[in-house]
Amino acid sequence: MVAYLSYRNGQAAVYNIAQQLQNELATRILQEIEETVAKPHIINQLNANALLQGDINLLTGQGEHIFWQQMKIFSETNFIYCATEVDGAFLGAGRSQGGTGRVLQIQEANARTGRYIYYYDITPTGRRSRLSAVGDRPYDPRLRPWYMETKAKGKPNWSNIYLDFETRLPTITANAPVFDLDTGSLIGVCATDIILSEELNGFLRTLTISQSGIAFIMDAEGVLLATSTPESILAEEGGGQGANSLLLKAIDSENPVIRQVAQALQGHTPPDQDVPTRVRLLDRLVITLDRERYLVQVSPFSDQMGLDWRLVVVIPEADFMAQINDQNHLTLTLYLLALALTGVSGMLLARWVVRPIQDLSQSAQAITQGNWTQPILTERSDAIGDLSRSFAIMADQLKDSLITLEQRVEERNLELTQLNQELQRLAHSDGLTQTANRRYFDAYLDQEWYRLGREQQILSLILCDVDYFKPYNDTYGHQAGDECLKQLALVFQQETQRPADLVARYGGEEFAIILPYTDTQGAITVARQIRHSLATLAIPHASSPQGQITVSMGIATALPQPTRFTSALIAAADQALYQAKTQGRNSYCVAEDWAIFQPDRHSPSRQESQDYAD
């Protein structure tokens, strides 16, 4: 009876430890899946914004370095690209050898390339260099399933798992349609590929599950997505290779455990749980295969984009029960021998054998309840001592695994925070001048308008336009023009030092300066300081009457009100800028306050222009 109770207690403790191990493994795997599938949609949103803003042009190759930067930051992806609806142009960056290599390449296909994919090497700055290869067949992205499905759905989505066009490896694509903000028509589709065999398989095979434990992932249709075993997740049709590959279902796996567990799950209906994935109750099963018991844990994973996967962690009971079974056989033998001895010898022998096992069982139960300080006696040199030492080692390993997992979770959270901050900065900044971009300017102006309206405080806006900038570009070249815009941006930022002030690139050679809590006189002071700084900087301009770079400025000041709109303030500043241009440039004009909100009336703005002789 004592031997039986010891066995049952040991079995219960082992089951608890096995379940803890399964929980920890499932948590780590689900977190890895969640991180892997979240990043492609962030990348797609960034590229959609860049495509709308003109930072990416698929026909000219402008913005290809953006794809390169994203591939460097998000190493989990293997291909990032966009395609357009009108001309079927295709541009992206991916890894060599169809996504399985380590070298990054620019890939381009359009009417100019005859619809064949051109592969370019990339310089250290993210620009294309030599043409390294040409695809062997025409490629029109509009005819590919990822493009057509996204066009039909009209919203971000995941593709079905498919075999890649080039590598013939299982691939899943995150897609995002890009619509014109004015007409609502489809401009194109941006997408990011993940090769499952490269990402999830590699991660699962780094895990230590148990001596012969297995973890695998399959979708709702039973297709095998990843496995910790070395087997391929592809089936070869007719015994062929490469192009004849098919997606493998779990019930057709070469591994008998995966195959039989998948067959058992086909007839098993998991409990309904209308709660988020992270807090779902785990579905546990005990399955007997070939007279061996397996502890099976099924964890569902889904997201808002349509993923519906199953994570299955299988641990053979024998991995944990072998030592307990051996020890109980020894215990039974000792009890049979004790019956032939005297009562005292029997009592001493029973105490010698049963007590250590009970202590070991109590220690194991304490560990399952999170009490890591419970002592485990390991001084004995017999089989019980071996078992105790095994439990002690297993407890230390489990404790170390928990500590390592917590550290990794903290590190991943920090990485995600830093990535989100960097993505936020990239989304709000102009790539050339490092000032705010037009999108952030519009949002910030609306924000300050309503905030200052509540506080009944003044808001000023200065629109700046570089005089004779096209002749400057024609004379000195576009690189010199870009450098000129950078220097102008620095001047504007140096003259607007308050935390609430904002300098933004409004478009081309135009800049906008938002000045909260600033009246007309204060805005004029800023304009004069800008003119003085530009005169001191003295950027040469042979095609300008002044012989150097100058700017014209339009100033508008208003007291924001709920019934008024920022568009009127912008229009007034733009009208004042136009008047400064017509009156000789290198000057500033101030719009009358009443003209800002009465657009039907036309009156010249109050001129506050002075030349440098002031």
What is the pLDDT, as a whole number, of residue 350?
A: 66
What is the pLDDT, as a whole number, of residue 89?
A: 94
Q: CB under 8 Å to 568, separation ≥6 — which residues?
A: 558, 596, 597, 599
DSSP string, 260-313: HHHHHHHT--PPP--S-GGGPPPEEEEEEETTEEEEEEEEEEE-TTS-EEEEEE
Kindly indicate the confidence band of residue 41, based on its pLDDT and cuts at 50, 70 and 90: very high
pLDDT tens per residue across span 369-378: 777 676 666 6
Question: Is residue 78 scored above 80 in pLDDT?
Answer: yes
Q: Cα–Cα distance between 243 and 405 in angstroms, integer? A: 40
Q: Cα–Cα distance between 95 and 105 in angstroms, integer? A: 6
Instruction: Examine the residue annotation and report whether 198 is marked as an active-site residue of this protein.
Output: no
pLDDT tens per residue across span 119-135: 999 998 888 999 999 99
Whole-structure pTM value? 0.48
Percent of the chain residues topping a pLDDT of 70: 84
Q: Among candidates 304, 37, 42, which has minimal Cα distance to 176?
A: 42
Whole-number average pLDDT of the chain: 83
The CATH 3.30.70.270 domain(s) of the chain lie at 438-607
Question: Is residue 600 scored above 60 in pLDDT?
Answer: no
Q: Which two tokens stand for residue 360?
A: 């070991």
What is the pLDDT, as a whole number, of residue 358?
A: 74
Look at the domain 438-607 and name its fold. Answer: Alpha-Beta Plaits (3.30.70)
Contact yes or no for 175/151 (Cβ under 8 A): no
Question: Is residue 613 scored above 70 in pLDDT?
Answer: no
Kindly indicate the confidence band of residue 553, based on its pLDDT and cuts at 50, 70 and 90: very high
CA atoms 238, 239, 240, 244: torsion sign: positive
Kindly indicate the confidence band of residue 12, based on its pLDDT and cuts at 50, 70 and 90: confident
Over range 599-607, report the average pLDDT. Answer: 39
Query: Which range, of 23-32, 149-158, 267-276, 395-404, averages the lowest pLDDT?
Result: 267-276
What is the pLDDT, as a whole number, of residue 386?
A: 75
Question: Is residue 201 scored above 90 in pLDDT?
Answer: no
Contact yes or no for 186/177 (Cβ under 8 A): yes
Contact yes or no for 114/136 (Cβ under 8 A): no
Kindly indicate the confidence band of residue 280, based on its pLDDT and cuts at 50, 70 and 90: very low
Question: Is residue 33 scored above 50 in pLDDT?
Answer: yes
Relative to beta strand 224-227, strand 234-236 is unpaired
Q: What is the signed CA dihedral for 171, 176, 178, 184, rounded to 10 degrees?
A: 130
Query: Which range, of 193-197, 207-211, 279-283, averages the lowest pLDDT?
Result: 279-283
Query: Which range, of 15-24, 42-51, 453-462, averages the lowest pLDDT?
Result: 15-24
Contact yes or no for 606/568 (Cβ under 8 A): no
Kindly indicate the confidence band of residue 610, based on its pLDDT and cuts at 50, 70 and 90: very low
Name the DSSP letter for residue 248: P
- The CA radius of gyration of the chain, in Å to the nearest whole number, is 35
Q: Classify domain 199-319 by CATH number.
A: 3.30.450
Angle among Cα 295, 296, 300 to the nearest 5 degrees reads: 155
Query: Which range, of 163-167, 442-446, 610-614, averages the lowest pLDDT?
Result: 610-614
Q: Looking at 509, 510, 592, 608, which residue is catalytic?
A: 509
607 - beta bridge partners? 589
Over range 282-304, report the average pLDDT. Answer: 82
Kindly indicate the confidence band of residue 277, based on its pLDDT and cuts at 50, 70 and 90: very low
pLDDT tens per residue across span 383-436: 777 777 777 777 777 778 877 877 887 888 787 767 766 676 677 888 899 999
Q: Go through 243-278 and write b for each residue having 16 or more CB atoms within 10 A of its CB, e for each that does not.
A: eebebbbbbebebebbbbbbebbeeeeeeeeeeebe
Query: % helix / strand / coil in the chain, to the nearest 5?
Result: 45, 25, 30
The CATH 3.30.450.20 domain(s) of the chain lie at 36-196
Kindly indicate the confidence band of residue 549, based on its pLDDT and cuts at 50, 70 and 90: very high
Q: Which residue's structure tokens are 């797609």?
A: 44
Q: Cα–Cα distance between 72 and 54 in angstroms, integer? A: 22
Relative to beta strand 170-179, strand 162-163 is antiparallel
Over range 201-221, report the average pLDDT. Answer: 84
Over range 527-544, report the average pLDDT. Answer: 94
What is the pLDDT, as a whole number, of residue 491?
A: 94
The CATH superfamily assigned to 36-196 is PAS domain (3.30.450.20)
Over range 80-96, report the average pLDDT. Answer: 92
Contact yes or no for 358/6 (Cβ under 8 A): yes
Percent of the chain residues topping a pLDDT of 90: 41
Q: Cα–Cα distance between 502 and 525 in angstroms, integer? A: 16
Instruction: Between 28 and 100, name the one with better pLDDT.
Output: 28
Question: Is residue 314 scored above 60 in pLDDT?
Answer: yes
Q: Cα–Cα distance between 513 and 79 in angstroms, integer? A: 39
Instruction: Between 121 and 220, name the one with better pLDDT.
Output: 121
Question: Is residue 269 scored above 70 in pLDDT?
Answer: no
Using CB atoms within 10 A of its CB, is residue 319 exposed (0-12), middle (13-18) or buried (19+)? middle
pLDDT tens per residue across span 512-521: 999 999 999 9
Q: Among candidates 227, 162, 151, which has minimal Cα distance to 193?
A: 162
Q: Cα–Cα distance between 319 and 22 in angstroms, integer? A: 13
DSSP string, 520-582: HHHHHHHHHHHHHHHHHH--B-TTSTTSB--EEEEEEEE---TTS-HHHHHHHHHHHHHHHHH
Kindly indicate the confidence band of residue 97, based on its pLDDT and cuts at 50, 70 and 90: low
Q: Cα–Cα distance between 47 and 66 in angstroms, integer? A: 8
Q: Which residue's structure tokens are 């002030």?
A: 501
What is the pLDDT, as a whole number, of residue 308?
A: 87
